[in-house]
Chains A and B, each alone.
Chain A
Amino acid sequence: MSLATAIVPPPKRSRLSRLWRWMKSDPRAVLSIAYLAMLVIVSVMAPVIAPYSPTEQDVSSLLLPPDGAHWLGTDDLGRDVLSRLIWGAPNSLYASLLAVSVAIVLGVPIGLLIGFIGGWLDDAVSRFVDALLSFPPIVLAIAVTGALGIGLTNAMLSVGIVFAPVLARLVRAQTLVVKNALYVDAARGFGASTFHIIVRHIVPNAIQPVIVQITLMLAIALLAEASLSFLALGVQPPAASWGGMLARAYNYIEVAPEQMYAPGFAILLTALAFNALGESMRVALDPTMKRR
């Protein structure tokens, strides 16, 4: 570095330049956000983008390898694989968001409540949360789905129910930390109401790890959806889903193994993007964590 560059005064940081600095410092997050944005656009535009109908069958072209007309080939019913892959995106995103929303709606208030009130209620609910966390998550989700009735919405409700205790435990722990902080004592001393303390002090200060956990949970929910759809408990035919596509293509693996790649990569990339975003947020939100 020459002297001339060293004496240039630091540039005024506009919002745009701050954004640029962030993008340069964390390319992983930028890539993930770009990929997820693309996925959202594809989901919304699926009817326009998809070259064929995802459910239209063509018995004259079964299990075709990729070519000019069908970029990813056709499945065992002659349906265009690329179109099904595109139509799988909204289903997968809907599934992940639904499951995580259910987990938030159930888990966050319970965690806040037991963390704040404490006492026997906390003891009892915490043991219940521990009990739920002892179950293998997918196994419990399968059992609950079987009971509620098979289908994507019920499957994701089940996954959300299974995830809720994770959030409840996290929010409870965060609430306990903040509850005993000096500034909360001070607020109480000034006569703040319980509601005011929870909304104005506990939630904003406890929320950061929760946001990170929620992002990471989107990835787990996506993988859970793929698993349940692979087992025929999730998305029902003829609707398209990445896990369901893998299940169907698996029956013809000896004839058309190439059909196994695209849906798997779609699941992997999306899960990676959610995870990378979560990790980046963990670093960005945590002032004590050193940037690598």
Chain B
Amino acid sequence: MHRLLALIGRRLWQLLPIIVFATFVVFSLLQLVPGDPAVTLAGDYASKERIEEIRHLYGLDQPLLVQYGVWLLHAVQGDLGRSLLSSAPVVDLIAQRLPNTIVISTYALILAAAVGIPLGVLAATRTGSRIDGLVTSIASLGVALPSFWLAIILVIFFSLTWHWFPATGASSFMADPLRALWHATLPAVALSVGVIAELARQVRSALIEVLNSQYYRTLRAKGLGPGAMLWKHGLRNVSVTMLTLLGLQVNRLFSGAVVIEAVFAIPGAGSLVAYSAINKDFPVVQGVVLVLVVIVILVNLAVDILNALLDPRAAA
């Protein structure tokens, strides 16, 4: 337990510069807007007085690093400013939208792990076979497939032709989990395909490496059965790789979710960031990007810690 705490502390310390840089990038988004940030934040048709008021309110008359510090201090306390469009607190908007994104992303990740990892294992244990060729081809296809196009094709068949799943919308997971999953199925399937392809590929190559290693050959020479070898030694050795891979997919899932949410008209964090970017609602854009990047960083921290528990060598 003590070792674990020390590990978490060490990882957090290593993460600190990354968190500082990442938050600074989010803060700097506003600086990328051509022209005066105060004019941007005041919105169209703002009076001169209003612009000056905004400049003072947001501390835009302060040096950049001071602005960053103030922004970060507010953000840490849960104050991400207000939407320029609806003047609702950004935190409230994100709280409304984020659960839908989390549902489809988690659903997609589970689907991808359930399909992608076995496919990778299947291909690795039969290298050069037809199954291996098939898995490799599916993986190549999956990586190149635009997920939103797949989503549209799914809608054509599963919603409009066969009426199995709804074509649009989402429903609250807390209120009615089954209904929420029913709504999330097509989006999650579309979202998972790229991840399945990536997982199958990477698990295949990681496992092939283990299967070709010296100690694995020794085990076979000692007469261990193939099943026991694969489960006790082969898969155990790639489990750390698999966890790391799964953690890295969160990034990809959030990226995909933006477009998938647009296809299915899901009120999620992704559709919120796209809508806000088009309508120049920068506090909302910054807020969503910040929350998503923090989730990505935390998930990978959790993966790191789990890995250390699974494999003491990784704790170093």
**Complex contacts, A19 vs chain B, CB 8 Å:** none
Among B128, B149, B160, chain A packs the most CB atoms within 10 A around the CB of B149
In the bound complex, do residue B33 and residue A223 qualify as a contact, i.e. CB atoms below 8 Å apart? no
A36 CB–B CB distance under 8 Å: no
**Complex contacts, A243 vs chain B, CB 8 Å:** 146
In the bound complex, do residue B273 and residue A143 qualify as a contact, i.e. CB atoms below 8 Å apart? yes
Given contacts A131-B25, A143-B273, A147-B282, contact A257 B156 (CB under 8 A): yes
CA distance A142 to B262 in the complex (A): 13
CA distance A243 to B147 in the complex (A): 12
Chain A 159-173 near chain B by CB (<8 Å), digits 1 or 0: 000000000000000
Task: Identify whether the interface residues of B are mostly helix, strand, loop, or mixed.
Answer: helix
Number of A-B contacts (CB under 8 A): 154
Beta-carbon nearest neighbor of B281 in chain A:
A146
In the bound complex, do residue A264 and residue B149 qualify as a contact, i.e. CB atoms below 8 Å apart? yes
B143 CB–A CB distance under 8 Å: yes
Chain A 94-112 near chain B by CB (<8 Å), digits 1 or 0: 0000000000000000000
Contact of B255 among A139, A150, A279 (CB under 8 A): A139
Q: How far is the CB of A271 from chain B (nearest CB, A)?
A: 4
B141 CB–A CB distance under 8 Å: yes
Given contacts A143-B289, A147-B33, A257-B160, contact A231 B152 (CB under 8 A): no
Beta-carbon nearest neighbor of A141 in chain B:
B255
Task: Give the contact stretch, choosing among B14-22, B172-180, B227-235, B307-315.
Answer: B14-22
Beta-carbon nearest neighbor of B141 in chain A:
A272
**Complex contacts, A134 vs chain B, CB 8 Å:** 18, 22, 251, 293, 296-297, 300
In the bound complex, do residue B148 and residue A246 qualify as a contact, i.e. CB atoms below 8 Å apart? yes
**Complex contacts, B29 vs chain A, CB 8 Å:** 143-144, 147
Q: How far is the CB of A199 from chain B (nearest CB, A)?
A: 30
In the bound complex, do residue B32 and residue A136 qualify as a contact, i.e. CB atoms below 8 Å apart? no
Contact of A250 among B25, B263, B288, B297 (CB under 8 A): B263
**Complex contacts, A232 vs chain B, CB 8 Å:** 278
B274 CB–A CB distance under 8 Å: yes
Beta-carbon nearest neighbor of B288 in chain A:
A139
CA distance A20 to B255 in the complex (A): 42
B266 CB–A CB distance under 8 Å: no
A67 CB–B CB distance under 8 Å: no
Beta-carbon nearest neighbor of A148 in chain B:
B32
Beta-carbon nearest neighbor of B260 in chain A:
A227
In the bound complex, do residue B144 and residue A136 qualify as a contact, i.e. CB atoms below 8 Å apart? no
A residues 244-280 in Cβ contact with B at 8 Å: 246, 250, 253-254, 257, 260, 263-264, 267-268, 271-272, 275-276, 279
Chain B 150-175 near chain A by CB (<8 Å), digits 1 or 0: 00110110001000000000000000
CA distance A127 to B274 in the complex (A): 28
In the bound complex, do residue A254 and residue B160 qualify as a contact, i.e. CB atoms below 8 Å apart? yes
Contact of B277 among A143, A223, A268 (CB under 8 A): A143
In the bound complex, do residue A260 and residue B152 qualify as a contact, i.e. CB atoms below 8 Å apart? yes
Contact of B22 among A135, A142, A145, A271 (CB under 8 A): A135
CA distance A150 to B112 in the complex (A): 33
A42 CB–B CB distance under 8 Å: no
Chain B 257-278 near chain A by CB (<8 Å), digits 1 or 0: 0110011000000100110111
B residues 90-141 in Cβ contact with A at 8 Å: 128, 140-141
A130 CB–B CB distance under 8 Å: yes
Beta-carbon nearest neighbor of B40 in chain A:
A147
In the bound complex, do residue B144 and residue A272 qualify as a contact, i.e. CB atoms below 8 Å apart? yes
CA distance A49 to B115 in the complex (A): 43
In the bound complex, do residue B152 and residue A143 qualify as a contact, i.e. CB atoms below 8 Å apart? no
A residues 84-132 in Cβ contact with B at 8 Å: 124, 127-128, 130-132
Show 22 A/B contacts (Cβ-Cβ < 8 Å), sorted by A.
A130-B21, A132-B21, A135-B292, A135-B296, A136-B254, A138-B255, A138-B258, A139-B258, A139-B273, A140-B289, A146-B276, A147-B30, A147-B277, A226-B149, A227-B258, A253-B160, A260-B152, A264-B146, A267-B146, A272-B144, A279-B140, A292-B128
Q: Which 9 A-B pairs have the closest CB atoms?
A: A146-B277, A131-B21, A136-B254, A138-B255, A271-B144, A264-B149, A147-B32, A131-B22, A127-B17
Other contacts beyond A140-B289, A268-B149: 18, CB < 8 A: A128-B21, A131-B19, A131-B22, A135-B292, A138-B259, A139-B254, A139-B270, A143-B273, A146-B277, A147-B282, A223-B144, A230-B148, A230-B259, A233-B277, A260-B152, A264-B146, A268-B146, A279-B140
**Residues of chain B whose beta carbon lies under 8 Å from any beta carbon of chain A:** 17-22, 25, 29-30, 32-34, 128, 140-141, 143-146, 148-149, 152-153, 155-156, 160, 251-256, 258-259, 262-263, 270, 273-274, 276-278, 280, 282, 285-286, 288-289, 292-293, 296-297, 300
